[in-house]
Amino acid sequence: MTTFLTRDTYSPEPDLGTPPVPGPRTAHVVIDGVAVDVAPGTSVLRAAKEAGIEIPKACATDTLKAFGSCRLCVVEIDGAKGTPASCTTPCADGMVVSTQTEQVRQVRQGVMELYLSDHPADCPGCARGNCEMQALAREVGVAEVRYGLGGANHLSDRPDESNPYFTYDPKACIVCSRCVRACAEVQGTFALTVEGRGFDSRISASGAPSFLESECVSCGACVQACPTDALTEKSVIELGMPTRSVDTTCAYCGVGCSFRAEVQGSGDGTRVVRMVPSKTGGANEGHSCVKGRFAYGYASHQDRQLAPMVRDSIHDEWRTVTWDEAIERVAAGFTDIQARHGVGAIGGISSSRCTNEEVYVVQKMVRAAFRNNNVDTCARVCHSPTGYGLNQTFGTSAGTQDFASVEHCDVMLLIGANPTDAHPVFGSRMKRRLREGAQIIVADPRRIDLVRSPHVEAAHHLPLLPGSNVAFVNAMAHTIVTEGLHDEAFMRARCEGVDDYLEFIAREENSPEATAAATGIDPAELRAAARLYAAGPNSAIYYGLGVTEHSQGSTMVMGLANLAMLTGNVGREGVGVNPLRGQNNVQGSCDMGSFPHELPGYRHVGLDDVRAIYESLWGLTLDPEPGLRIPNMFDAAIGGSFKGLYVQGEDIAQSDPNLNHVREALTSMELVVVQDLFLNETAKYAHVFLPGTSFLEKNGTFTNAERRLNRVRPVLPSRTGKDEWQVVCDIATAMGYPMSYPDAGAIMDEIAATTPTFAGVSFERLDAEGSLQWPVNDKAPHGTPTMHIGEFVRGKGKLVPTVFVPTTETTSRRFPLILTTGRILTQYNVGAQTRRTANETWHPEDVLEIHPADAEVRGIRTGDRVELTSRVGTTTLHAVVSERMQPGVVYTTFHHPVTGANVVTTENSDWATNCPEYKVTAVQVGVANAGDEALAQASEAVASR
Amino acid sequence: MSAELPPEIRLGNDIARALHHLPADEGATALATHLKKFWEPRLRRALVERVRADDPRVDPLLARATATYLEGDVDRAEVAEPSGG
């Protein structure tokens, strides 16, 4: 695979015209006298490009199926009639092709003249260099247009400027359909079409008046595919074309898309012109979403805080100080707290948005300089049950597959995840496989897009009630086992605990009929879904926070692992158990030893031999006891034994549950240090603010949901004057434990030297190979796309009886509805980044989705401001009455601090990991300002139904 | 409500509820092992104090597990297993 790192001059990523065809290169072809071997079925256009021969093209591009409409890529083939399009003509052994004959030249020139007769002579894109038409004219030898420009044309068509990120200018459009096909084939939204016939053919976005009002999801695939100036990034129009590029990795969701950051200028004068997804990116293969491609402007937003600040009290004004003064304040403050309250009175929280290298040094600072294990990560509040559940059952805290595995999947079981919103690029990959014939079972309280959308229809939508996941997965397994659909040979050969598990799961209490009251699922529908999953033959489980953020999150993860094991769906392509991670580096932050009981590589701090590795290297004695988890830190702060906290890149005062409790904890501390891009909600309770760096300024690695380590390369110089890991090293040093590295690569070298899973990882290897999926070691020097082949990491897979224990968060007359929370496409997490971009256009506020029946009984209409109350808090927001909801369940997002959705979520948590139960909160909803009497009446009305 | 419980009881009772299906001895050992593997010492100390004070809000399985923990009767092999979470 060719990889591209940084380029001092700009050139677009090579385009070979049509997609590659897998298989041995057994077709021998001669093109213009040049011999080339390709896989049979490869297009003549691609074969020519591989042989170094350029054939003009307009409608062809290697990310889309050949279309054969532009007639510019015509060639002559010995023994064949006419001038076939090279893009749609497959190579056959012995084929002899001529690309530059007189007949071919005349055809191309005739076609090109027609295109130019309806293309602006003063096309700004052609002048800029991002419209290919004038270059194509030169390539085919057209200097003049015989027909002139006075005939019927579209040159007075008005541009559509509605989308905040790109313009559609129909004047430049040649109706090659690349945008339409990109929307269909790559993104899978089918928002674009060609409206009209013949000369009247124009691109239309869902037949809507504008792109903004259409079904377009602004993924940008159409813009990337467009060969003209018709679809162009507004940033390119404003700034002009880039002059160089840097390969890096997106900092939004856990898909971890690879991008070319295309820029102008250098040093402090560097400007990002656009982000273009890399075709060589292992996770995204040239695709992106509205966040990754367009929503990077927060890095240069005026709200960025670029200098350190301190204050004595959270009621004082901030005072800007030097780095030295800020570091000294932090070190002296923490040291003083430890002297007065003990070593365990301080701790740190690392961020899943930061690089592996940054996270590693935070846990090292805590363990070596703070001399305790009070380090945790924001993964605590999202996927900690994944770590626990998959480690218990499979022996490793990670998903089993790479994303490409879905291309071999026959049946997908999707539960507690909404990939088209939260992991859009993988969502597109799923939709492509579904269009090819795979089937999907969607288990979700809401009717998400993958239940039914263009060219997608779930075989089964199981609208389970929040809190009933374990009952559901047990019913699936019960059906499979009692109907004899399980793979007993696989279980006996590969798993332990088989007999106990089979006895447990076959109990009547686990049947679909017995669990129906808890799950709300029609038993017959559930049985049919179970049969489909068992039939496969390749069945894969994809899940998200709707699995983990429950009081039985860890149990449910183990239940999903059970389901895969009992059907033999582990250890090959197309199957497995695949957590869709929320943030870009959730996997990596967990891998790097951010949990308070584990050193990097998930090795317990109590193990003498593991501690010895670090004690020898770091030159000190480590605490063998686990430290405090995040919720423990809050409780200890309120209890008076925890007084100081360093928080890196997480807004705990917005993202964590029961915010009133969090705020009480933060105000109970003597020193809160926040390192972030912005003065976030947590910074309101901080005494020291240390400015952080955006992903465009970082040098390091992210690890995505498929265990893929991708390089993050500095596109811009640090705007704060320091890398974040340097700041952490400075704090440790000032506290008496010297820490320093020559560069971020040296941190990865230390990680590799001390963690067997990463033994073969280095920046040099990543630069050479593009990316690597851990484990990377002597056994797997090029990484491990699929895990547990032949044997589980722990030896035998462990089948765990997963008894359903209902949550204690139950509805009542006072709180008769269940609130569940989630994410939306255009916003990300607490919105710190996306709220500072034009993505606000689509989602300017969090809203409450409520079923029509629940709305009617409360007198709520779409647009009404409603009060949402739980037993721990109240917030207000606007309502959207939606049949996507099921009766009794309401839904909102937590992207905006003004709403503060987590004011109402409770301290309930997963029994094993303390991951908060964000997905189940008993609430009441009423029209805001209706008064207590009206709310009481609403409760009465619901109770009497 | 559980929110009114001190954290060591609330969190411990949550684990006990998840392990109640196991035979009593096995459940107590599993819970004691969990305390050893995941809980910070001050949280364990607070729990021990609650149990010694016969706090009626402590789940009986949690109380039994605390005694098991104090006796050091935990599953050492399980503590050594990687766990994530």
Reported as a single tens digit per residue, the pLDDT across A637-676 is 999 999 999 999 999 999 888 999 999 999 999 999 999 9
- Phi and psi angles of residue A689, each rounded to the nearest 5 degrees, phi first: -115, 125
Single residue among A544, A579, A614 that ends a domain in this structure: A579
Whether A604 is in a domain gets the answer: yes
Mutate to test the interface with B, among A590, A629, A792, A906 (most CBs of B within 10 A): A629
Percent pLDDT > 90 in chain A is 93
Whether A12 is in a domain gets the answer: no
Name, in order, each residue with C-beta under 8 angstroms of A643's C-beta and a sequence gap of 6 or more.
Answer: A337, A340, A341, A345, A346, A637, A669, A670, A671
CB distance A657 to A631 below 8 Å = no
* Residue A901 pLDDT: 84
Do A527 and A437 sit in the same domain of this protein? yes
pLDDT tens digit sequence for A321-357: 999 999 999 999 999 999 999 999 999 999 999 999 9
Q: Max CA-CA distance within chain B?
A: 36
A902 CA: distance to closest CA in chain B (Å): 16
CATH of the domain at A751: 3.40.50.740
C-alpha–C-alpha distance, residues A152 and A198, integer Å: 12
Nearest to B7 among A596, A626, A635 (CB): A635
Measured at the CA of A102, the angle between CA A99 and CA A106, to 5 degrees, comes to: 95
Residues facing residue A302 across a β-bridge: none
Whether A628 is in a domain gets the answer: yes
Single residue among A720, A740, A773 that ends a domain in this structure: A773
Contact A385 B21 (CB under 8 A): no
Contacts of A632 in chain B (CB under 8 A): 7, 40, 43
What is the domain extent for residue A848?
A: 817-943
Average pLDDT, rounded, for chain A: 95
Contact B18 A555 (CB under 8 A): yes
Nearest to B14 among A595, A601, A911 (CB): A911
Single residue among A552, A579, A606 that ends a domain in this structure: A579
Quickly state the pLDDT bin for A930 (edges 50, 70, 90): low
Whether A669 is in a domain gets the answer: yes
Do A646 and A767 sit in the same domain of this protein? yes
How much is the average pLDDT of A583-593? 95
Do A559 and A591 sit in the same domain of this protein? no
Lowest mean pLDDT among A349-358, A377-386, A542-551, A731-740: A377-386
Looking at chain B, which residue has its C-alpha nearest residue A810?
B1
- Give the DSSP letter string of A282-316: TTTTT---HHHHHTTGGGG-TT---S-EE-SSTTS
Contact B11 A914 (CB under 8 A): yes
| Tally of domains in chain A | 3
A624 CA: distance to closest CA in chain B (Å): 10
Nearest to A803 among B21, B79, B82 (CB): B21
* pLDDT of A934 higher than 70: no
Tokens of A514: 């017995």
A488 CA: distance to closest CA in chain B (Å): 25
Name, in order, each residue with C-beta under 8 angstroms of A508's C-beta and a sequence gap of 6 or more.
Answer: A514
Tokens of A439: 């089937």
* pLDDT of B76 higher than 90: no
CA dihedral (A600, A583, A851, A920) in degrees, to 10, reads 20
Contact B40 A907 (CB under 8 A): no
Do A426 and A568 sit in the same domain of this protein? yes
C-alpha–C-alpha distance, residues A580 and A578, integer Å: 6
CATH of the domain at A508: 3.40.228.10
How much is the average pLDDT of A782-808? 97
Do A345 and A397 sit in the same domain of this protein? no
Quickly state the pLDDT bin for A943 (edges 50, 70, 90): very low
Percent pLDDT > 70 in chain A is 98
Do A733 and A690 sit in the same domain of this protein? yes
Quickly state the pLDDT bin for A171 (edges 50, 70, 90): very high
Q: Which residues of B41-55 are buried (b: 16+ CB within 10 A; e: fewer)?
A: ebbbebbbebbeeee
Looking at chain A, which residue has its C-alpha nearest residue B11?
A911
* pLDDT of A382 higher than 60: yes
Do A388 and A378 sit in the same domain of this protein? no
ipTM for the predicted complex = 0.96
Measured at the CA of A388, the angle between CA A386 and CA A394, to 5 degrees, comes to: 85
Do A711 and A857 sit in the same domain of this protein? no
Whether A6 is in a domain gets the answer: no
* Residue B78 pLDDT: 84
* Strands, sheet with A375-377, edge to edge from the N-terminal-most edge strand: A319-320, A309-310, A688-691, A671-676, A644-648, A346-350, A375-377
Contact B85 A626 (CB under 8 A): no
Do A573 and A510 sit in the same domain of this protein? yes
Contacts of A601 in chain B (CB under 8 A): 82
pLDDT tens digit sequence for A823-838: 999 999 889 999 999 9
Nearest to A359 by CA among A631, A682, A584: A584
Lowest mean pLDDT among A702-706, A790-794, A875-879, A931-935: A931-935
Contacts of A597 in chain B (CB under 8 A): 37-38, 83
β pairing state of A495-496 and A797-798: parallel
Whether A407 is in a domain gets the answer: yes
Contact B40 A628 (CB under 8 A): yes
Nearest to A382 by CA among A650, A694, A664, A41: A650
How much is the average pLDDT of A559-563? 98
CATH of the domain at A902: 2.40.40.20
C-alpha–C-alpha distance, residues A366 and A586, integer Å: 19
B21 CA: distance to closest CA in chain A (Å): 7
A583 CA: distance to closest CA in chain B (Å): 16
* pLDDT of A606 higher than 50: yes
Do A392 and A472 sit in the same domain of this protein? yes
Q: Which residues of A614-653 are buried (b: 16+ CB within 10 A; e: fewer)?
A: beeebeeebbebbbbbbbbbbbbbbbeebbbbbbbbbbbb
Quickly state the pLDDT bin for A944 (edges 50, 70, 90): very low
Whether A225 is in a domain gets the answer: no
* Residue B77 pLDDT: 84
Whether A76 is in a domain gets the answer: no
Q: How many CB pairs under 8 A join A and B?
A: 109
Do A619 and A719 sit in the same domain of this protein? yes
Contact B37 A597 (CB under 8 A): yes
* Residue B75 pLDDT: 85
pLDDT tens digit sequence for A441-485: 999 999 999 999 999 999 999 999 999 999 999 999 999 999 999
Q: Name the DSSP letter for residue A433.
A: H
Measured CA distances, B85 to A158, A603, A668, A914 (Å): 56, 12, 27, 9
B28 CA: distance to closest CA in chain A (Å): 15
Nearest to A911 among B18, B42, B82 (CB): B18
pLDDT tens digit sequence for A132-166: 999 999 999 998 888 877 888 999 999 999 999 99
Contact B40 A627 (CB under 8 A): yes
Q: Max CA-CA distance within chain A?
A: 91
Do A756 and A839 sit in the same domain of this protein? no
> In A569-619, where do the E strands start and end?
577-579, 598-599, 603-604
C-alpha–C-alpha distance, residues A489 and A494, integer Å: 8
Burial environment of residue A10 by CB neighbours within 10 A (0 to 12, 13 to 18, 19 or more): middle
Contact A908 B39 (CB under 8 A): no
C-alpha–C-alpha distance, residues A866 and A157, integer Å: 44
Helix (H) or strand (E) holding A318: none
Tokens of A718: 């640090």
CB distance A801 to A498 below 8 Å = no
Tokens of B61: 């399985």
- Phi and psi angles of residue A890, each rounded to the nearest 5 degrees, phi first: -120, 160
Contacts of A602 in chain B (CB under 8 A): 82-84
C-alpha–C-alpha distance, residues A461 and A473, integer Å: 14
- Phi and psi angles of residue A97, each rounded to the nearest 5 degrees, phi first: -120, 140
